[in-house]
Chain A
Amino acid sequence: MSRTTSTPPKQVHLAAHFPGVNNTTVWSDPQAGSHIELSSFVHLAQTAERGLFDFFFLAEGLRLREQNGVIYDLDVVGRPDTFTVLSALAAVTERLGLAGTVSSTFNEPYEVARQFATLDHLSAGRAAWNVVTSWDAFTGENFRRGGYLPKEERYSRAQHFLDAAFALFDSWSGDEIVADQAGGEFLSRPEVGTFAHHDPHFDISGAFSTPRSPQGRPVIFQAGDSEEGREFAAATADAIFTRHATYDDGRAFYADVKGRLAAYGRRPEQLVVLPAATFALGDTDKEAAELAAEVRLQQVSGATAIKLAEQLWNTDLSELDPDGPPPSFDPVVGETISQGRASVRMHRDPVATAREWRAKAEAEHLSLRELIVETSNRQTFVGSAATIAQAIDEHVQADVCDGYILVPHLTPGGLDRFVDEVVPLLQERGSFRTEYEGETLREHLGLAAAPRVAHRTTDAAAPAGAVS
């Protein structure tokens, strides 16, 4: 395929999301493997690296989900520790970025900063941090610090947490270790790692244990979608992980967040916009459509349909027949029956949504399970490799996004065909790399080296606002 202009096309960024603990992941398939053995993580990561992806992405949840007061047992349950599994993956990959989700609520900046600095050292510059906020007392019950953060303080804590972490990352400038064996000087100066950070959430000072890492600091991801989340991303993040994958929705989101950067003195290319995307890939478009329908039925078993309906109706529906009609009554308004699950918040007006769903079921003669299949997320891309490659490329060229974080529905082989069949077509289109050009994740993402931010220290020796 040739292009009519000489301008090279915008480059597509791709990443691999390890299948999550939700019903997108089909564990019941005979091909589905372990969600905890290292071999599954290695398979997906090495597949992504073979496909020259930018990074591997790991989500986090710090309490097993519950519904109706008992542990939710229909989806995959159980996950590894983020840092530990990413450090292990650094041993079996060479260029792939390693992105981990780590809460700013149930951690302390000193500890998280040294863990990310360590991952960045051990991977030679491939670490990324998806900064999330948690606030629920439910998750807090697993932590000695406890609770719960008022909703209005979530982003304030996250921003202060990041400010504190940046002060720690920047406490070493990278030129301190000289290791002069003859002269006997290991350090070039006595004051190293000095930091002080004081704000309403954190009051910390001392010396940071871990010298500056290859990227300076990990690449920062932000995943929230609220007004505060978008501002937070515009102010601080290097990349944004969104749900806005479809054409019109994505273009609006993309324009919105890129438009916010100027206010922070940043250029549009300094924030990479990456929606999550699922796909059903077949030999032909028709076969892919059939596969997509089949997978959606696997994703929504009768039992899962009941549980997903309960999340909207907010009451016990266990007596309901999933092959019968949806509930004839309105959702229960009040304390949620579902704990530890972010998607519950998506039903912003449950009563109106339930009425819409009921009307749709009546009009289209759908059972409850069919209704849930119809109303739950469809695969973002369905088609042959050619169809999917074209769609991804066109979306990226049209500024729907800068690329996609692909969420396979099967562990660990769910990306195999994509890498073998779609990636070469993207390369033919000239919009995807044919080899890794950079060493670090920042380079893969087209981001400039991380600047050292102004030292937020009260030490008089470091002038306020100094940037080195």
Chain B
Amino acid sequence: MTRPLHLAVALDGAGWHPAAWRLPTARPRDLLTAGYWVDLVRRAEEGLVDLVTIEDALALQSSDPTGPDHRTDEVRGRLDAVGVAARVAPVTQHVGLVPTATVTHTEPFHLSKAIATLDYVSQGRAGWRPQVSAGTAEVGHVGRRTSWTDPRGDDPAARQALVDLFEEAGDAVEVVRRLWDSWEDDAEIRDVATGRFVDRDKLHYIDFEGRSFSVRGPSITPRPPQGQPVVVALAHAEVPRAFAARSADVVLITPADDATAAAQVGEIVAVRRDAGRTGPDHVFADLVVLLDDDAARATRRWSQLEEWWGRAFTSDAEVFVGTPQGLADLLVARAETGLTGYRLRPAALPQDLDAIVDGLVPELQRRGAFRTAYEAGTLRDRLGLERPANRYATGGLS
């Protein structure tokens, strides 16, 4: 019996290959329209996937982290991912919606209420992918950092800067999570006899004091339907993996082979245990995928993309070019390393999303490795995550 996999689809622009927008199936003029995103997410929902992620950054897309690269042959310009997720929510029913939002230059209070509200407007399908911004471009866009050390170098100062950035990210997620719990579920009482709308004893100051900031609380937004929306974090290296293991419910990794996958899963589970994290240890591997029922056609399309782009595309994640059957083989086999699922990054949208829905998903279903229908419930339910008790609830009878 094959263990059922979880599947996420990563949505970004016209797809993950920089030349994908040139394919005849692409819709490069629609990338800023609601209709484009609604179509993509509905398509993903037809494929019964657990969730979609939506990429974002506080900067224009660029190959240069210090600023624009002035390329004219790639997609440039994007929408705020939380806004896109919220726009899609009322016209979808099942799929989880996980926008990316930066923690480095933003206010945890705003992030907390935004994701809580996404959970309300999606009726319990919200997640969040907190993203550390390590680029200097974003520093200039926000302009509030009085000092900035580039964390991408190999010297001790850069390494410390990286550790600091992820520690700050951990603080931000902690604040967001505390704010989600700052209202007990039954805080709203509407007691006409006493005239009280809320029981203020069930609203809690979070009084977070971190190394670089403090937040008082409570949130202005009541506790969201899932209690704690699902936090998803991408981790390529040791420092981000430690952050992700401690702070996230689903950790995304980018192994190039089975051995690396097994080692990273082990590392993440160990950090989770040390941090006292309970529940399923969800680790998904990211893969860039280009699919066609005919392997030769898949290769030809990939070659076309490479030719258009004029270079060899490399990614942090492994690239799979081939048939849905071949990909299903890989996914099922690699799950033996302890991975619970995958986040697939379609090389081209909507074409490779269509191939996931029409090709890969039926292939996995035939192997008993994927659901054949959505069950009712929240995104947490789908991932086997219990609705957590509120950390501030005393639970006693009064």
Q: How far is the CA of A385 from the CA of B36 in the complex (A)?
A: 43
Is B60 within 8 A of A37, CB to CB?
no
Q: Establish whether residues A73 and B141, one from each chain, have CB atoms under 8 Å apart when the complex forms.
A: no
Task: Of the listed stretches B86-94, B147-155, B266-274, name the one at the interface; the rest are far from the partner chain.
Answer: B86-94
> Do B215 and A141 touch (CB < 8 A)?
yes
Bound state CA distance, A107 and B111, in angstroms? Answer: 12
Stretch binding the partner chain, chosen from A88-96, A330-338, A423-431: A88-96
Binds A, one of B25-33, B335-343, B350-358: B25-33
Q: Which residues of B contact A80 (CB under 8 A)?
A: 113, 116-117, 120-121, 221
Most chain A beta-carbon contacts within 10 A, residue among B71, B75, B78, B80: B80
Which residues A200-232 have CB closer than 8 A to chain B? 202-211
Contacts of B68 in A (CB 8 A): 191-194, 206-207
Structural contact, B90 and A38, CB atoms closer than 8 A: yes
Assuming A38-B90, A61-B220, is B34 touching A74 (CB within 8 A)? no
* B contact residues around A88 at 8 Å (CB): 86-87, 89-90, 121
B76 and A91: CB pair below 8 A?
Answer: no
Q: Which of B74, B90, B198 contacts A77 (CB 8 A)?
A: B198
Which residues in A have their C-beta under 8 angstroms from that of B61? 209
B residues 69-104 near A (Cβ < 8 Å) are 70-80, 82-84, 86-91
Task: Tell me if A185 counts as interface (CB < 8 A to partner B).
Answer: yes
B397 at the interface (CB under 8 A from A): no
B196 proximity list for chain A (CB < 8 A)? 73-74, 303
Closest Cβ–Cβ distance, residue B308 to chain A (whole Å):
6
B334 to chain A, nearest CB (A): 34
A185 to B72, CA, bound (A): 6
Please tell me if the beta carbons of B109 and A186 are within 8 angstroms of each other in the complex: no
Could you say which interface size class chain A belongs to?
A: 35 or more
| Complexed CA–CA distance, A19 and B203 (Å) | 22
In the complex, which residues of chain A have a beta carbon less than 8 angstroms from the beta carbon of B75?
A: 186
* Contact call B198/A186, Cβ cutoff below 8 A: no
Which one of A76, A83, A121, A204 lies within 8 Å of B82 (CB-CB)? A83
B359 at the interface (CB under 8 A from A): no
Residues of A within 8 A of B (CB): 27-28, 36-38, 42, 61-64, 70-71, 73-81, 83-85, 87-88, 90-92, 106-108, 110-111, 114-115, 117-119, 121-124, 141-145, 172, 176-177, 179, 181, 184-194, 202-211, 301-304
With A78-B198, A203-B143 already in contact, 18 other A-B pairs whose C-beta atoms are closer than 8 Å = A78-B188, A79-B220, A81-B221, A83-B114, A84-B121, A87-B82, A87-B84, A90-B87, A110-B58, A124-B33, A142-B215, A177-B28, A184-B308, A187-B71, A192-B77, A207-B60, A210-B79, A303-B196
Could you jot down 16 A-B contacts, CB within 8 Å?
A: A78-B221, A80-B116, A85-B86, A90-B34, A110-B58, A114-B80, A124-B33, A144-B107, A176-B77, A181-B23, A186-B72, A186-B76, A187-B72, A192-B77, A302-B195, A304-B195
When A and B form their complex, which 4 residue pairs have the shortest distance between CB atoms, in order from nearest?
Answer: A144-B213, A190-B70, A87-B86, A179-B28
